[in-house]
Structure 1
Amino acid sequence: MTPEHPVPVVPTATYRLQLQPAFPFTAAAAAVPYLASLGVSHLHLSPVLEAVPGSPHGYDVVDHTRVRGELGGEEGLRALARTAREHGLGLIVDIVPNHMAMVPRHNPALWEVLREGPASPYARWFDIDWEAQGGKVLLPVLGGPVGEETGHLKADGDVLRYHDHAFPLRAGTEGLPLPELLDAQWYRPVWWRLARTELNYRRFFSISQLIGLRVEDPEVFAATHAKILQLLGEGVIDGLRIDHPDGLADPDGYLRRLHGASGGCWTVVEKILSDGEPLPPSWPVAGTTGYDALRHVDGLFVDPSGAGELLEHYRRFAAPQTDRGGDWAATVRRAAYKVITHELAAETERLTRVADRACSSAPDPALRDRAPWALRTALQELLVRLEVYRPYASVDAASVVTEEAAGAARRAFTVPEEGGAVDVVRDLVLGRAGAGPQAVELRTRFAQAASALRAKSVEDTAYYRYVPLLSANEVGGDPGRPAVSPQDFHAYCARVQRDWPVTGTVVSTHDTKRSADVRAALAVLTECPGRWAELLAGPLGEGVGAPDAQLAWAAWQTVFGLGEADAERVGPALLKHVREAGLYTSWTEQEAPYEEAVERFVAEGPCGPSGARVAAFRAALEPHIRANVLGTALVHLTMPGVPDLYQGTEAEYRALVDPDNRRPAELPPADAGVKGAVTAAALRLRARRPDVFGAAATYTPLRAEGAAADHCAAFARSDEVVTAVTRLSLRLAEAGGWRGTRLPLPPGRWTDVLAPGRHFEGHARAEDLFAALPVALLERTGGPGGQG
C-alpha cells in the first residue's frame, strides 16, 4: 500500500458513540480508557463533518470541508484519535453521501446555488429539476401562502429574511419592491404544504430539509469526500460507515469509486436487506451495518407458535379499529399506496415526467403515445409491489421488478389496453427498451423512488399500523414472520462467515425503534400470549379509555418492554407512533382532539395507576427476560461478523425510538451488572483471540440432545470457542426444565469464560452448563489446538 493508503485495518469490535454538542470529542476522549478496557478495537463515531448548529445527530451536513466546530473541530478529532491510539483503539466514522441540510445560511454551496442559479459551479452538486417550477428552486419554508406571509419577508441588504431563515438575493435585485424581488430570484419561497406535490429537488425520503447530492458526478464526489479521505490517508480514521447508499443514483459506481479513493479501508453500508435478499456480491465493501443480523438474532428468541397465538389475540382485540384486521402484507401494500400518492407525490410526478420524456424520445414507436396518467399509474402499481428496497445496476433488475408484479399492476387498469403502459415502463426500467439519457434517468429515478417508498411505507408507516409484537417491527425485520428457527439462524451465520465474514452486526443503534433489551423483554410475550391477552382484556381496560384499540395494545407493550411507566419518555414515543401510523392523525395533518385523547390515555393508563399491573406482570417474567437479554448480547458478540455496540448497551439499556435513544451516554454506565460482565468477557476474548472470530474463522452449529434440545442454541467458532444460550426459557420451565438434555462439545477441555472455575469435556449437561447463568461462553483450554 502507498503512504496515502495505509494497510486496511479490520476491527474486532466497534463501539458506537452518538456525538452531539452535549457529547463532543472531549467527552469521547474521556471515555477512551474505559472503552479500551471493555475490549473493543475501534470507536464508531456518528458524522463528524460540519452540520446544522445544535444538531443532535450530525446527518444534516452543511460543509464537507470542515470537521464540526461544535464537537471540537478538526483538532478535537485529531486529539481524540491520538488518545484512542495511545490506548490501542482506532476510529470508524459515519459519512453521509446522499444529502445535505437545506439550510442556506449554514450551507455555503447551497447559498451560492440560490444566489447564482443553474450557472453556479455548485449547481451540479444538488439534484434539482431546473425544468420544473419555472426554473426556480421551490423552498417550502413559509408558514402559510405567500400572500399571508409577506409581512415577514424582508430584504436586508443582499439577503432575504423570513423569521430565522436567510436567503441570498440575486445580484442587482436588492432594491426591488417585494413582489418583483421575489419574482427575480432563482428560488421561490412557498407555503410548506406545497412540498408534498410541487417540490423540484430530490430529498431524503420525505424530509424537505435534506436536499439530495449528486455524488455520481466525479467532481462532486471529490469535493464532498476530500476531508474524509485526507483523514483516512493520514491515519486519523481507519474505516467508514456509509449512510443510506440506496438514495444514490449509482450505489455500485459510488462504492467502487470510494473503494479506490480510500485504499480499500474497512467499509460497511447501511443497506437494509429484505428477508432472503443478498447483498450485491460485486460491492467492494466488508458488508452491511448489520440490520440483517439483528433480525436473525431477535427471531431466535421468538416462539413461532406463540407469535401466531399473539397475532390472533391482537386481531380480536384491535381488529374493529385497526388497519383491516392485522394482515402484514396487506398493511404494507396499503401503506405504500398512501405514501406514494401523498408523502411522495412530488417524487411520483417527477418520475412520471421522466417516463413521459423517455417514451416520447424512444426510437421504438411501440413505446410512444402513452398518456401521462397511464404512465403514472403503471409506475405506482409497479413500485408498491416491490419486495426489496431497489434494483441495482449489478443485479438483474427483473428479479426485483418481477413479471408477477407486472401482472398484478396490469390488473389495476380497468381498460386492458391501457395496461400496456406497465410493460412499457417495465421494459424501460429493465433496460430492455431505450438506451438514451432519458431511459437511463428513468431507471435511476425509479430505483431512488423505490428505496424512499419502501422506507417510508414499511419502516415509517406499516411498522406503526401492524403491532401484534412490537419487537418484530424493526428496520429490516419481517413482522409477518417474526420467529427464526435455530436451523435458519445457523444457515444465516454460515452464509455470513462464507460470504461476508467481516460484515457489521448490530442489535441496537441510533435508529432502532426499541433497544435490544426492550425487544428481548417483548419477545417473552410470545411464550405467554394468553396471559398477556387476559391482562389487556381485564384490569388494564377498566376505567381507562384508549382512543383506539391498536394504540392501547401498542401502549401497553411499550411500557412492558421499557419496564417503567415514565410519561416523559412513553408519551412522546406514542405520539410519534400515532403520527407515523397516519390512521387518525399525522405529522402534517394533526388532529388535536385525537392527540389530546392519546395524551390523556397515556397519563391515566400506561403511565397511571394501571402501569403497576404491567410492572407486576413483567416482574414475574424477569428471569425469562434476563435470559433473552443475556442470550441476545452473547450471540451478537460471538456470531460471524464485527459486532457494533451502541453506547451504553454493555449494561442493560432500555430505550425507545429517537430522540429517546440518542441521549448523551453515561460512560462508564453506573451499574453494568451481569450483562456488563458477559459483554466484557466476550469482547476481551475476541480481542485476545481475533483469529477465532475473523475472516478465516469457521462457524459450526452445535445440536443439543435430549427432551429440551430446542431450548439450547449453540455454535462453535473455529472449534476454539463455544457459545451456548437458553432460548424460550418460559416454555422450558413450563415443560419441566432440561430433563437430562446435554450439549456435545468438540474434542478438548473447555473452560467457561464467564465462570473460570467451571470445566467441561466431551459434553455438558444443560443443568450444569446453565446452572449460574442462562448463557455460557466456553474456551478450549486443553486438547487438540487448545491453549492448555
Structure 2
Amino acid sequence: MTPTATYRLQLQPDFPFSAAGLAVPYLAALGVSHLHLSPVLEAVPGSSHGYDVVDHSRVRAELGGEDGLRQLADTARGHGLGLVLDIVPNHMAAVPRHNRALWEVLREGPGSPYARWFDIDWAAGGGRVLLPVLAGRVGDELERLRADGEVLRYGEQEFPLRAGTGGLPLAELLDAQHYRLGWWRLARTELNYRRFFTISDLIGLRVEDPEVFAATHGKILELVRDGVVDGLRIDHPDGLADPAAYLERLGEATGGRWTVVEKILTGAEPLPAGWAVAGTTGYDALRRIDGLFIDPVGVAELLGRYQEFASPAGDRGGHWATTVRRAAYRVVTHELAAETAVLTRLAVRICAEDPALRDHAPWALRTAVTELLVRVPVYRPYVTAGGACSREAEATLPDAAVREARAVFAVPEEASAVDVVRELALGRLGDGPDRAAFCARFAQTASALRAKSVEDTAFYRYVPLISATEVGGDPGAPAVAPDEFHAFCTRLARDWPTTGTALTTHDTKRSADVRARIAVLSECPEQWSELLTGPALAAPAAPDPQLAWQAWQTAFGCAGLPADELAGRLGPTLLKAVREAGLFTSWTEPDPGYEQAVSDFVAAGPAAGSGPARSALRQFADALDPFARANALGAALVQLTMPGVPDLYQGTEREYLALVDPDNRRPFRRPPAEDGSTDVSTDEKAVLTTAALRLRRDRPELFGESGTYTPLTAQGPAAAHCLAFCRSGEVVTAVTRLSLRLAGAGGWRGTELALPDDGRPWTDLLTPGREFPGGRVPVGELFAERPVALLSRAVREASAGHG
C-alpha cells in the first residue's frame, strides 16, 4: 500500500508508543495515511533519537516494547492509518555492555562468529581493535580501570575480559585483550573500525554479508510480514558497501513494500535508476521548493553585503566553492585521517601484489587518495569492484578532478598515483578482497567527507543566507526558477511518482517556517544590511562579524517565538554553529573564552528579551510578516500537491519554529483544540494542510503513479511571481513567489492565469463558496483571500467511485 502522505513522529522515552497512540485520532483527522516512526529497535538507554541501535532482535522496551508497537499499529489501523518505520542498516552503537554482538567480538576476538558483523582492520591494530573511550592517556587513567570477575570496568563503562585473563595484573591484563582501550583523541588517526561519519560511538555494520543482513533485519521483516509495518525509510544508504545490492535484497524480503532512502542528491544528480526503491526521503524536493522563494538577484546582492560586513577570507566563507574545498581538506586530513589511512594501506597492498603497480610510494598514494576524495562532486560513487562501470560512476571522479589532483605533485611520474587510485576507486584495478574493500571504502569515505565538510562545516562558515544552508542545498546557487522546478516535477512524475518529499525533518537545520521568513531577506538585502549596521543591532558587540550576521538572521527567522523561549533556544543553536564551523572553537578543541563571548553576545543581543535591539528586530520582522506568510503557505502547498508522497514532520501542519537538533527533536505535543476535538479549522496553515491531505486521501488516483503533472504559466507583467501547476487535470495549485518584490513593483497589474476548461467550475478548497470558471482568471482575484490557491473540480459521475 503506497502512502498518500506520512506524518513523522520522533519516538523517545518521553514520547513512547502509547503517547503516539493517543495522537492517532488527531493525525487521522488531518488526512495522512501513515505514521512515520523514528527507529523502534532497542537502542542505548535514554536515547532521544534511536539511531544508536544495540539489539536488532527486540523492539525498544523504553518505548513500550513489541506489544506497545503492535498495539499502536492496531490503533492506527482502526483509524485507517498504517505505519512506516525508519530503519538503520549502516551502524550500531559501540557500547559493549548493551551491544551483545560487539561484546562477543571484544571477548573472543577475530574468531568470534560476530566478527563478520563489523568492518574491523585487525592487522592495523596488531590484532586488536582500538576503543577510544578513555578521558586521558591510558597511563593517566589506570586508577579508574579495574577488573571485576570477567568484566573490566571504567567508570560506568564495561568491557568483557578474554577468557583466562581475569587474574592478571592490570598492565598485563590490558595487553592480553582483543581490544585496546585508548585516549579518545586517538580515534582521529588510529581508529581501525569503520564508523558513522566521525562518530566513534557508532560502529559500521557489514549488511552486505547475507548472515549479517538476516540477523539485523529479522525483526523488521517479521513486523512487515505480520502486517504491522507497511513501508520503510532507510537511513544513510551511502554508508553501505553496496547500496544497490542491499536495496535489492531488502525489496525481495519485504515483497516490494514502499521504501524510500535518505539519499542526498547533489545538484542535478539523479537517483540511481536501478535502485529497488520508490525514491528518496525528499531533500531533493526540499531544495527545489525552497529555491522558488529565493530571489536570485537579491541573493547575489546579499552576498556582496555579507562580504562587506563580515570580511570573510580563507576558511571563513567568502566564496562557496572555496569554502567547501577548504572544509573538505580540513576534514579529510583531520577528522577522517584514520579513514584515509585505511585506504592508503589497501592501496599499498594492492600495488605491492602487482608488479605493474609497484614502486608507488605510500605518501604518493595517500596524497592521491586525499586529492581525489576532496574533488568527488557528489556524495559517493556507485560502483562495485569488477562490475561494469557506468558513465554516471565515472562522472563521480571526472577527468578534471584527476588533472587537478595530478597538479599537486611536483614530479609527473609520481602523479601517476592519482590514476592508480582513480582506477581502484572505480573497481577497475587490482584483484581479490583488497580491490573490493578499496572500492567500497573509498565510496563510504567520500560520503562521510561530503556530509562532514559540507553539511557540518561549510554550511556554518558560509552564511550570507542561512535558509539556503540546508541538507541537500546549494548555498552557492540557491534560487530555483519556475521552469527548473517544473522540469524537476515532470521528471518525478515520470520516473519516481511515489518518491518522498519533505520540507522539515529531524535533520533540517531550521524548520521550513524559519527558512521561509529568512528567505524574504533575499528580496530586501539593502534593508537587512542597514538594520544590521544600525545602532540598535550593532550595539551588542559580537566576537566576530560573521557570528553577528548569522545570529541576527537566526533571531529574525524565529521572531515569532516568545522572548523568553527564544533566549533558551538560540544560545545552544549558535554555540553548536560555531563549534561545527571550527573557525575559533570546536567540539574537540573548545576555546572557553570565545564560547563565553558568544554566549554573552547572544544574551545581550539576539536573545535579549527587551531593549532597542529586540524592538528594532521585532519591528523589522512585523513589517515582513505578510511576505514570510506567503513563503510559508506557498512552500507547504507546493510540497503537499507536487509529485511524490509528502512527509510532514511533527507539528508542521501549523506554524512550527525550530532550529537544529536537539531543538527540533522535542517530544510531539498535539495542539489543543478550543473545544477538545481534533478540529484544525482555526489555524490558517492547518486549514491548507488539512484540505490538501484530505484531497490526496480521497482522490489518490490524481497524485499517485497514474497521476499527471502539467505546468501552468501566468500571463502578464507579474507572471514570474505566480507558480502554478495542474494534477491530472482535476486539481490546480497556485502560489505567490517573491511577494515582497511583487508588492514593490505594484502588484499583479492585470496578470492572468489560464485554468484548464472542460465546462466544470473550479472550487476553492481553502475558502468555501468561492468558484472560478475555466479559462483566464485574474491572478489578483485568485489570490484575493490569501497568497495561495488550491482548486478542485467536482468528481465526474463516471469516476465517482474513486472519491
Q: TM-score per shorter chain, which class?
A: over 0.9
Structure 1 residue 417: deviation in Å? Answer: 1.7
> Is contact 2:42–2:60 with CA below 8 Å preserved after alignment?
yes
SS at match of 2:510: coil
Give the drift of 1:539. 2.3
Partner of 1:536: 532
More divergent stretch after superposition (390-399 vs 87-96)? 390-399
Distance 1:412 1:771 in 2: 60
Q: Is the 8 A contact 2:316 2:461 kept in 1?
A: no
What is the CA–CA distance in structure 2 between the aligned matches of 1:428 and 1:136, rounded to whole Å?
27
Report the equivalent of 1:587: 587
Shift of 1:141: 0.7
SS at structure 2 position matched to 1:587: coil
Following superposition, the deviation at residue 668 of structure 1 comes to 3.3
**Aligned positions of 1:378-527 closer than 5 A:** 378-393=368-383, 395-396=390-391, 397-527=393-523
Describe the SS at the equivalent of 1:461. Answer: helix
Note the alpha carbon deviations across 1:708-744, whole angstroms, 9 max, x for none: 1111100000010000001111111111111111110
- In the TM superposition, what are the counterparts of 1:733-744 in structure 2 within 5 Å? 733-744=743-754
Residue 278 of structure 1 is aligned with which of 270, 273, 277? 270
Three-state SS of the structure 1 residue aligned to 2:714 is coil
Q: Which 4+ stretches in 1 moved above 4 angstroms?
A: 669-672, 782-788
Residue 765 of structure 1: aligned partner: 778
Residue in 2 that maps onto 1:103: 95
CA distance in 2, matches of 1:584, 1:86: 54
Superposed CA offset, 1:649-695 (max 9, x none)? 00000000000000001113668610011000000000010000001
Q: Secondary structure at the match of 1:713?
A: strand
The answer on whether the counterparts of 2:137 and 2:182 sit within 8 Å (CA) in structure 1 is yes
Q: What CA distance in whole angstroms lies between the structure 1 residues aligned with 2:377 and 2:535?
A: 41
5 Å-filtered alignment, 1:690-769, equals: 690-747=700-757, 748-761=760-773, 762-769=775-782
Q: Does the 8 Å CA contact 1:321/1:550 hold for their aligned counterparts?
A: no
Aligned partners of 2:415, 2:399: CA distance in 1, in Å? Answer: 14
| AA aligned opposite 2:397 | V
Aligned match of 1:313: 305
Could you list the per-position Cα deviations for residues 248-278 of structure 1 after superposition, in whole angstroms to 9, with x for gaps in the alignment?
0111110111011111100000000001000
Q: Tell me how far apart the structure 2 counterparts of residues 145 and 492 of structure 1 sit (CA, whole Å).
A: 53
1:783 positional shift = 8.0
Structure 2 counterpart SS, 1:92: strand
User: For residues 125-164 of structure 1, what are the structure 2 equivalents within 5 Å?
Assistant: 125-164=117-156
| Deviation of 1:612 (Å) | 2.6
608-617 vs 524-533, greater mean Cα deviation:
608-617
In structure 2, the CA distance between the partners of 1:255 and 1:786, relative to structure 1 (3 Å rule), is closer
Map 1:225-240; keep pairs closer than 5 Å: 225-240=217-232
Instruction: Quickly say closer, same or farther: Cα 1:511–1:320, change in 2 above 3 A.
Output: closer
Residue 600 of structure 2 aligns with which residue?
600
Q: Quick check: 1:559–1:611 contact (8 Å CA) kept in 2?
A: no
| SS of residue matched to 1:645 | strand
Counterpart contact for 2:17–2:69, Cα < 8 Å: yes
Are residue 166 (structure 1) and residue 158 (structure 2) matched? Answer: yes
For residue 94 of structure 1, give the secondary structure of its aligned residue in structure 2. strand
Matched, 1:685 2:688: no
Of residues 791, 797, 801, the one that matches 1:778 is 791
- Point out where structure 2 has 5 or more consecutive residues left out of the alignment: 384-388, 674-679
Cα deviation per residue 1:442-499 (whole Å; 9 max; x = unaligned)? Answer: 1111101100000000000000000000010001100000100000000000000000
SS at match of 2:658: coil
CA-to-aligned-CA distance 1:52-106 (integer Å, 9 cap, x gap): 0000000000000000000000000000000000000000000000000010111
Amino acid at match of 1:742: E
Residue 217 to residue 320, structure 1, CA distance change in 2 (3 Å) = closer
Q: TM-score, normalised by structure 2?
A: 0.95
- Determine if contact 1:650/1:679 at 8 Å carries over to the other structure: yes
For the 8 Å contact 2:514–2:558, the answer to whether it is kept is: yes
What's the CA shift for 1:543?
A: 2.7
Q: CA RMSD in A?
A: 1.4
What is the alpha-carbon distance in structure 2 between the residues aligned to residue 81 and residue 780 of structure 1?
Answer: 35
Partner of 1:79, secondary structure, is helix
Segments of structure 1 that go 5 or more residues without pairing to the other structure are 1-8
Percent of aligned pairs with the same amino acid: 69
Aligned-partner Cα distance in 1 for 2:108–2:356: 42
Equivalent-residue separation in structure 1 for 2:491 and 2:785 (angstroms) = 32
Deviation at 1:542, TM superposition (A): 3.3
Structure 2: which amino acid aligns with 1:627? A
Shift of 1:756: 2.4
Q: For residues 786 and 647 of structure 1, what CA distance do their matches in structure 2 show? A: 34
CA contact (8 A) 1:318 1:325 kept: no
CA contact (8 A) 2:8 2:650 kept: yes
The structural deviation recorded for 1:614 is 1.2
The 2-side partners of 1:356 and 1:500 are apart by: 42
Q: Which amino acid aligns with 1:599?
A: S
Aligned equivalents of 2:580, 2:316: Cα separation in 1: 17
Instruction: Write the distance in 2 (CA, Å) between the matches of 1:676 and 1:551.
Output: 35
* Residues 774-783 or 475-484, more deviating: 774-783
1:224 to 185, 196, 216: 216
Number of aligned residue pairs: give it.
778
Counterpart of 1:425, as a letter, is V
Deviation of the 1:559 alpha carbon: 0.3
Q: How does 1:221-300 map onto structure 2 within 5 Å?
A: 221-300=213-292
Q: Offset of 1:544 from its aligned partner?
A: 1.5
Alignment partners' CA distance in 2, 1:782 and 1:740: 31
Amino acid of the residue matched to residue 400 of structure 1?
T
Moved more, 389-398 or 450-459: 389-398
Q: How many Å separate the matches in 1 of 2:437 and 2:754?
A: 58
1:4 matched residue in structure 2: none
Q: Is the 8 A contact 2:532 2:538 kept in 1?
A: no
Write the distance in 1 (CA, Å) between the matches of 2:326 and 2:317.
Answer: 13
Deviation at 1:540, TM superposition (A): 4.1
How big is the shift at 1:318?
Answer: 0.9
Shift of 1:595: 0.6
1:113 aligns with 2:105: yes
Is the 2:7–2:34 Cα contact (8 Å) retained in structure 1? Answer: yes
Counterpart in 1 of 2:676?
none
Please tell me whether the aligned partners of residues 317 and 462 of structure 2 are also in contact (alpha carbons under 8 angstroms).
no
Q: Structure 1 residues 784 and 416 mapped into 2: Cα distance closer, same or farther (>3 Å)?
A: farther
Q: SS at the partner of 2:794?
A: strand
- d(CA) in 2 for partners of 1:129, 1:738: 65
Q: Which amino acid aligns with 2:358?
A: R
TM-score (norm 1): 0.97
8 Å CA contact retained: 1:556, 1:606: yes
**Counterpart position of 2:638:** 635
| Deviation of 1:784 (Å) | 10
- 1:58 equivalent in alignment to 2:50: yes
Which one of the candidate residues 198, 210, 215 is aligned to 2:207?
215
Matched residues in 2 for 1:285 and 1:134: separation?
41
Asked if 2 retains the 8 angstrom alpha-carbon contact of 1:136 and 1:186, the reply is yes
Contact 2:425–2:442 (Cα < 8 Å) also in 1: yes
Q: Which residue of 2 aligns with 1:6?
A: none
Instruction: Check the 8 A contact 1:34/1:668 in 2, yes or no.
Output: no
